[in-house]
Amino acid sequence: MERPAWAPRSIDISSPSVSRIYDYYLGGSHNFEVDREAARKAMEFMPGLPKIMQANRAFMRRAVRYAAGEGIDQFLDIGSGIPTFGNVHEIAQSARPGARVVYVDHDPVAVAHSQAVLRENEDADVVAADLLKPQEILGSHQVQRLIDLKRPVALLLVAILHFVEDADDPYRAVAELRDALAPGSMLVVTHASFEGIPLPREQAEGTVDVYKDIRNPLIMRTRDEIARFFEGYDMVEPGLVPMPDWRPDTAPEDEDPYSFSGFGGVGRTA
């Protein structure tokens, strides 16, 4: 298979990646046939998967606009993915010119493409790092240059925590990040769950199996398990809810039934 110019040399283009599969669901062009094949297999069980991803992106944009409206001008987006339509820096910087944004991802394609998109943007940058190593993220020169940890930050963990198994203790990483951020910081989370999926659970499990097969298991947590990520935060109204129900711009009843799968929420420290 020929390697396109945007694909870093270090990547394995013979096995699927979570970020490239997600790019495909969203209609992007930074994916390979192996990614599309996995995505199509997952969609055989849940044909509405792209609707969930669109609801996820729409939630994220509303949450960033909300944070900016509440005076936050620094954003740390971990598991930021391959840039696509309506990225965090575009939303944040149009709501608050000069807002600082640091993206973090462990996927080389996501990092390389973010670097390309941000080349001319002095107030945004990207770090290649793992959520499970918060000190590497916080100590990176990009965070040191752009984020003032003495002032509130919006920490985005959008559609990433469901790729971290309990054995790797995502709760510890989230708590460590919370403790490093100034009072008044926000946590923005979306997370997959069997709750809300408009299908029999056995059918949805077919999709989960596809991610197991590519050795990137999708961890479907319950609402209560997802709520535990917000320990130490006060929930912003309306709390942890199906994504279209969180401060909607348009009538949630007009949304596709698939968009109500999983949860989104925002918390703020006192």
Ligand X SMILES: C[S@@+](CC[C@H](N)C(=O)[O-])C[C@H]1O[C@@H](n2cnc3c(N)ncnc32)[C@H](O)[C@@H]1O
Burial of 235 (0-12, 13-18, 19+ CB in 10 A): middle
The answer to whether 175 and 231 are in contact (CB under 8 A) is: yes
Binding to ligand X in span 195-254, by CB under 6 A: none
Q: With binding defined as CB under 6 A, does residue 19 bind ligand X?
A: yes
Tell which phi-psi region holds residue 49, choosing left (phi > 0), alpha (psi between -120 and 50) or beta: alpha
Smallest distance from ligand X to CB 81, Å? 3
80 scored as a contact of ligand X (CB under 6 A): yes
**Beta carbon of residue 165, minimum distance to ligand X (angstroms, whole number):** 10
Contact track, ligand X, 125-144, x by CB under 6 A:
-----xxx------------
Kindly tell me which residue out of 57, 61, 89, 221 binds ligand X, with binding defined by CB under 6 A: 57
Q: Does 35 bind ligand X (CB under 6 A)?
A: no
Exposed/middle/buried for residue 134 (C-beta within 10 Å: 0-12, 13-18, 19+): buried
Q: Does residue 163 touch ligand X according to CB under 6 A?
A: yes
28: helix, coil or strand?
coil
DSSP sequence for 195-211? TT-SS-HHHHHHHHHHH
Rank residues 54 and 93 by Cβ distance to ligand X and give the closer one: 54
DSSP, res 104? E
User: Which residue, 75 or 163, has its beta carbon nearer to ligand X?
Assistant: 163
By beta-carbon proximity to ligand X, the closer residue of 211 and 233 is 211
Kindly state whether residue 18 participates in binding ligand X, applying the rule CB under 6 A.
yes
Given 73, 105, 125, 255, the residue binding ligand X (CB under 6 A): 105
CB of 26 to ligand X, least distance (A): 8
Residue 135, exposed/middle/buried by CB under 10 A (0-12, 13-18, 19+)?
exposed
Question: Does residue 22 belong to the site contacting ligand X (CB under 6 A)?
Answer: yes
The 3-state DSSP class for residue 186 equals strand
Which residues contribute to the site for ligand X (CB under 6 A)? Answer: 18-19, 22, 56-57, 60, 79-81, 105-107, 110, 130-132, 158-160, 163-164
